[in-house]
Amino acid sequence: MVTAKLTSNGMINLPAKLQKKLNLKPGDEISFILTDEGILLIPKKSILTATNPNNYKMAVQAVKEIRQERNKENW
């Protein structure tokens, strides 16, 4: 398990171990998806490969939420 602390500004530093494993670079975007089990963090660049293909419901939920956010940004 990897942990991180929330700062007083509401920011979280993603531990280097996870950044390396997920091949994340500065400027990459991460989606935060609220699920019944907790919060799912998914790099936007790999949304389809990062979600478990056996968990169709979670993948669909993640894609819908990302689309909603993009629609908000375009207004």
What is the mean pLDDT, run by run of 10 residues, along the chain of 75 residues? 89 90 86 82 66 66 78 68
For residue 40, the cross-strand partners are: 33
Q: Give φ, ψ of 18 to 5 degrees.
A: -75, -40
Question: pLDDT value at position 67?
Answer: 79
- According to the model, what pLDDT value does residue 71 have? 78
Say whether pTM exceeds 0.85. Answer: no
Q: Please give the pLDDT value at position 37.
A: 80
**pLDDT number for residue 28:** 87
pLDDT at 16: 92
